[in-house]
Structure 1
Amino acid sequence: MNQNNRKFVPVTIGANLGAYSLARAFHEQYGVNTELLCGVVIFPVKDSKLFNITVDRNLHYEPRESLKKYIEAIENKYPGYEKIIVPSEDFSVNYVLSNIDLFGDDWHIPFSGKELVDEVANKQDFYNICETVGLKYPKTWTFGADDEFPADAKGKLVIKHLESRHFEAAVKSGIKKIYVNDNEVQAEAALKQIREDGFLERLVLQEYIESDDTDIAVVTSYRSPVDKEVKLVSFGRVLVEDRSEMKGGNHLTILTEEVPVEVKEGITRLLEKKDYVGFANFDIIYDNSRGEWNFLELNPRLGYSNYQLTAQGYNVAKILVDDLLYQLDMSDFNESHIVYTVIDNGLNNKYITDDYKDTFNNLKQSHNVYSPYDYKGDSSLKRKLEMLKYHRRARMEIVEGR
């Protein structure tokens, strides 16, 4: 892509919804395809016209060698171009930051250093940071394979992975993303079963905060690596949450709202205190019993639902290009009130609570409900067939999870 005589190409790693949403943003804004490296091609990347895809089956086994070959291929294909690389998954962020010495000066990598990224991605370390900057979080215990079940853990409890990348590896063994337990006896039994199934990484045990889907929110921030200014803090209230065993916690339908002052100020304090740069994706939950937002985790990358930002007026590709290449502010971005969704209207009408149904229907009537998959620039018969398969699978998984 050539804008004002500066040629650039977007690059991502990982064939997931986050990568697809990023590629769509670049295509919408600049009409350019995104270079993609992945180990296997799956939906929603499969049969998409938005990518130039390189498949390397050794990506997860020899990531340094795979990256080395890929970087050389991209540099040969795009001599004189600046490259903007935005990995889409936790493992691919780790691959890039662990091998940052392979990238030349013409590569823009809008992330903090590996040490800080590892710190914020670790839930216990993240909660320690929250403590220092005054952010609330649920009561939490962490323990290893040989540690005793904490004696003071009582009541309804949740078992989670300490780091998201551990879940990505564990899912192949049938380990769930989240275990919700009605009491400590059930939680201890679930923990024992997890260990017997061979998962020995450290885990998080956390008090369960009673909530509806609409008490959950996703907040995305962007702090510039160039001038260290916080350019964006965007708030989305979850209307429908995935509650299936393997995908629990994924946001299916999101309503954009004005960010609460205490949330925006708290996130800004955290980013500045840790000198964190790039995109950050926070999951938060409202504790009705205490009247306060609690922070659950920080994903040090764009979230899978990042098309919410583009749809509401904050095109993520434009944010990156304006900042990294031209050092522009965000004065020409116009925010809209929208709903983002990856499920069909039938499921939305079934699961959105009565308090928000009128809002959803009004935005639908005014054409302000957006799906990352619904894009005329990437339409084909094969894509339509893939979409039918996706919605059929999604419906079964979501109904089962309820």
Structure 2
Amino acid sequence: MSTPAPHTSDEGIDLVLLGGDIGVYALARAFHEQYGTLATVVTRSVSGPVADSRILRTVELGADADEAAMVEALLEVGGQRRAAGVRPILLANADFLVVLIASNRDRLGQVFHLPVLADNVLEAVADKATFAEVCAGIEVPTPGTVVLDFADGIKPRVPTLEWDFPVVAKASRSSAYSQVSFEGKRKVFEIRSRAELQDLVDRLHGAGFTDRFVVQEMIPGDDTCMLSVTAYVDSDGEVTLLGGAHVLLEEHTPGALGNPAAMFTTDLGPVLEASVRFLEATGYRGFANFDVKVDPRDGVAKFFEVNPRIGRNNYYMTAAGTNVAVPVVADMVQGRRIERMVPRAEILYSILPWALLRRYLTDPSLRARVRAIGKRRTVHPLAYPVEGWRRRGYVAVAKANQVKKFLQHYPKPSVDGF
């Protein structure tokens, strides 16, 4: 492993990121915009989102690096920073990496600021099955949920469901799901019959899956019924960052299904209030990202899950005027209380060409509203003006590739988003 020389911003604020996706770059960009920080990205492979960047340096571990190698690399990088008199903030933006950091908090906490959840809270909120139980106790609406438990290698019986097919099925904990592979594996499954559900159970069991899967009531409506909420809770339990966006289109490749590809910031009112209620009731700390869907049958916003991290599309918050670096720096580094930061600007966040996005906005009034917002300001998290020509070329190619992906996996809009 080759480690870059220590570097810090003028304010002594340093950042180390584990992983290398678009959300990691968005965090690096936020810190660079606010503090001039040059982040260090520790990743198995340096891929497009973090390659050839002027605002970060990479430590590439190799595709075969295991979790132990990741921890040792982090300790080496963090130790260099501490030797230089700086204690970096350590963040990750994938569930299994958050779990890795949390499970090694005693060692990593010696050299890093760790804005991660306590183990008992992480276990409770990162599990979609437990999430539904917690929400029921504090009157936060969720879809109907049934849990399939594969513990101890036992294949669960497929129960009789209270709702009609189709239903949705997904891993209760993505960190556990990431450890298995099988033909047809997807992030989220649309199950159209009991036979399909039984087939999924058989495949999960055959792949050696030993965690829990949740089967949920299908909430009608396409991607435009989805909402995203991003928050930060400081060490004293105060929600110091809170904002949301109306999703317009999600990605539809099997491995990324459900990740927003385009959305606009807006005041979500009661949805934000319910988010705060959840965060306060659970003793949450650090960044959180909620997935919510408005049920067109009754207008109720139903919470699907909370991600124990900031989320892949976090740059919409920074672009709307609430830089996500500020609350974590105030909390972890500066040790000061701040007033809650809430975005006020309406911006269009999109990783898609407008012509492609427009194709999927079938409601004329929504399309007109989005077009007006986009003309005022449209942001792509990777399109940072300080970057060089290689980065600009990558962004152009990435947007073109989105066209190919949608034509292959979601060629025309559907009523349910599948």
TM-score, normalised via structure 1 length: 0.91
1:80-119 matches, within 5 Å, as 80-105=85-110, 107-119=112-124
What's the counterpart of residue 164 of structure 1? Answer: 174
Correspondence for 2:413: none
Rounded Cα–Cα distance in structure 1 between residues aligned with 2:136 and 2:343: 34
How much has 1:188 moved relative to structure 2? 2.8
Structure 2: gaps of 5 or more residues: 1-7, 411-418
Partner SS for 2:190: strand
Q: 1:178 aligned to 2:182?
A: no
Given candidates 22, 26, 31, the residue that maps to 1:26 is: 31
CA distance in 1, matches of 2:156, 2:111: 47
Match of 1:74 among 55, 74, 78: 78
8 A contact 1:33–1:50 mirrored in 2: yes
Output the CA distance in 1 between the equivalents of 2:16 and 2:126: 23
Match of 1:242 among 239, 246, 251: 251
Give me the whole-angstrom Cα distance separating, in 1, the residues matched to 2:64 and 2:234. 29
Q: Which moved more, 1:206-215 or 1:348-357?
A: 348-357
CA contact (8 A) 2:15 2:89 kept: yes
Is the contact between residue 166 and residue 218 of structure 2 (CA under 8 Å) also seen in structure 1? Answer: yes
2:20 aligned counterpart, secondary structure: coil
Q: Structure 1, residues 283-336: CA drift from partner, whole Å, max 9, x if none?
A: 011112132111101100010000011101111112222332331414787631
Question: Which amino acid in 2 is paired with 1:318?
Answer: V
SS in 2 for 1:7: coil
Answering whether residue 143 of structure 2 is matched by residue 138 of structure 1, we say yes
Residues 1:220 and 2:234 aligned together: no
Task: Classify 1:203/1:355 alpha carbon distance in 2 versus 1 (closer, same or farther; 3 Å).
Answer: same
Pair 1:300–1:331, CA change in 2 (3 A):
closer
> What are the Cα deviations for residues 168-223 of structure 1, in whole angstroms up to 9, with x where unaligned?
34468651111112333333334334444554542111111111211101111111
Contact 1:158 1:178 in 2 (8 A): yes
User: CA deviation digits over 1:12-54, x for unaligned, max 9?
Assistant: 1001111000001111112221011111111211222221111
Task: Give the counterpart letter for 1:149 in structure 2.
Answer: V
Q: Which amino acid aligns with 2:138?
A: V
- Give the equivalent residue in structure 2 for 1:317: 325
Instruction: Judge conservation of contact 2:239–2:340 (CA < 8 Å) in 1.
Output: no
CA distance in 1, matches of 2:293, 2:76: 44
1:280 aligns with 2:285: no
Find the residue that maps to 1:392 and give its secondary structure. Answer: helix
Deviation at 1:384, TM superposition (A): 3.1
Distance 1:110 1:199 in 2: 30
| Structure 1 counterpart SS, 2:98 | helix
Q: Partner amino acid for 1:223?
A: V
Per the alignment, residue 41 of structure 2 pairs with 36
- Hey, what's the Cα distance between the residues in 2 that align with 1:185 and 1:400? 26
Which one-letter code corresponds to 1:207 in the other structure? E
Three-state SS of the structure 1 residue aligned to 2:294 is: strand
Instruction: Tell me the SS of whatever aligns to 2:309.
Output: coil
Deviates more, 1:213-222 or 1:323-332: 323-332
SS in 2 for 1:253: strand
Are 2:13 and 2:37, in contact at CA under 8 Å, matched by a contact in 1? no
TM-superposition CA deviations, 1:129-158 (whole Å, max 9, x none): 101111111111111341111123542211
In terms of mean alpha carbon deviation, does 44-53 or 117-126 score higher? 44-53
What is the CA–CA distance in structure 2 between the aligned matches of 1:60 and 1:144, rounded to whole Å?
30
Separation (CA, whole Å) in 1 of partners of 2:339 and 2:161: 48
Deviation, structure 1 residue 124 = 0.6
Q: Kindly report the root-mean-square deviation, in angstroms, between the aligned alpha carbons of the 2 structures.
A: 2.2
Q: 2:56 is matched with which residue?
A: 51
User: Does 2:379 align with 1:375?
Assistant: no
Give the 3-state SS of the residue equivalent to 1:57 in structure 2. Answer: coil
Matched, 1:208 2:218: yes
Aligned counterpart for 1:345 among listed residues 341, 344, 354: 354
2:240 is matched with 231
Cα separation, 1, equivalents of 2:58 and 2:90: 14
Name the aligned partner's letter for residue 58 of structure 2.
Answer: I
- Cα pair distance change 1:394/1:148, threshold 3 Å: same
Deviations 1:240-279 (A, max 9, x none): 1223333211101011111222x22222222111111111
Alpha-carbon contact 2:18-2:93 (below 8 Å) kept: yes
| Aligned residue pair count | 395
